[in-house]
């Protein structure tokens, strides 16, 4: 058994080395970033602020936005930042976006390799163009938009495929308004997490952030109060402790997503179990840096 575990660790290490090599080859030409302050201490969780541009932007508008981000000043050293762009603009980001903001995709195929999967993009293909992160399980994809939505099993499969390919994953979960109102928020979140817990090894979780996004707050202007969000985040962490391990629960980052913006980020990020945000609308504006600086 020890030999198998050593082999697995070796393969994971090799995959990470290849990821770092690919990303390094692409990012060395990007503009330099800058930081301020101190990184998270030993045992502390680094904040993760992810921007989800969804299906928005043009070459012209996003080039201007990237320029604004590049000139926005230092990023706190205890914050990791990523932008998940539409696939057709990933090259724009890996060429022009400051190097201290990682680039990510918004979805990937469930297929581990290329082949006869018209319209799909594999996790390894995203990795090959410089992506570090991918969003899996966003509520818009779970629900569907003029097409069948992605169920819990499919989201979990995509999560595992992405991790095995070397990407890090923001794994989105969350309840609808009626589920919040009838008191089944954690039942919904647990149902979305359970298939992932079955598929993932404990070491896989080092490259997963859980993005809690109450569906009723996405793009609506409604936001859970800091106290409401903290309560759910604490419950999610407790679920992970009981169904994965206490070590993973302590280390895993849980982002809040649901109309987080500069005006409310500070109060949300001050909560002990909120480790960042997955930001929609505000990530398409200069306000994104107000969210990032909300940790200060």
- Residues recognised as catalytic: 138, 213
Beta bridge partners of 175: none
Cα 122–chain centre separation: 17
Backbone angles phi, psi at 147, to 5 degrees: -155, 170
């Amino acid at each position: 058994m020890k030999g198998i575990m050593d082999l697995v660790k070796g393969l994971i290490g090799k995959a990470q080395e290849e990821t770092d090599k690919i990303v390094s080859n692409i990012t060395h030409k990007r503009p330099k970033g800058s930081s301020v302050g101190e990184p998270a201490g030993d045992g502390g969780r680094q904040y993760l602020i992810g921007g989800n541009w969804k299906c928005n932007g043009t070459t012209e508008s996003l080039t201007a936005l990237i320029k604004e981000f590049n000139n926005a000043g230092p990023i706190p050293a205890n914050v990791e930042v990523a932008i998940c762009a539409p696939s057709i603009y990933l090259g724009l980001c890996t060429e022009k976006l400051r190097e201290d903001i990682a680039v990510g995709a918004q979805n990937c195929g469930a297929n581990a390799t290329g082949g006869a999967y018209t319209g799909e993009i594999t996790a390894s293909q995203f990795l090959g163009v410089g992506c570090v992160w991918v969003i899996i399980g966003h509520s818009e994809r779970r629900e569907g938009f003029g097409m069948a939505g992605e169920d819990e099993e499919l989201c979990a499969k995509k999560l595992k495929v992405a991790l095995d390919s070397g990407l890090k994953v923001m794994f989105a979960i969350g309840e609808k308004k009626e589920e919040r109102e009838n008191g089944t928020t954690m039942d919904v979140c647990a149902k979305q997490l359970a298939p992932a817990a079955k598929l993932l090894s404990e070491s896989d979780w080092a490259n997963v952030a859980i993005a809690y996004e109450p569906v009723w707050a996405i793009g609506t202007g409604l936001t859970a109060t800091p106290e409401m969000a903290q309560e759910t985040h604490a419950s999610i962490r407790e679920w992970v402790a009981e169904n994965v391990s206490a070590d993973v629960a302590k280390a895993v980052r849980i982002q809040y997503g649901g109309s987080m913006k500069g005006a409310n980020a500070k109060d949300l990020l001050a909560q002990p179990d909120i480790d960042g945000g997955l930001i929609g609308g505000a990530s398409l504006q200069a306000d994104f840096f107000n969210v990032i600086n909300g940790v200060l």
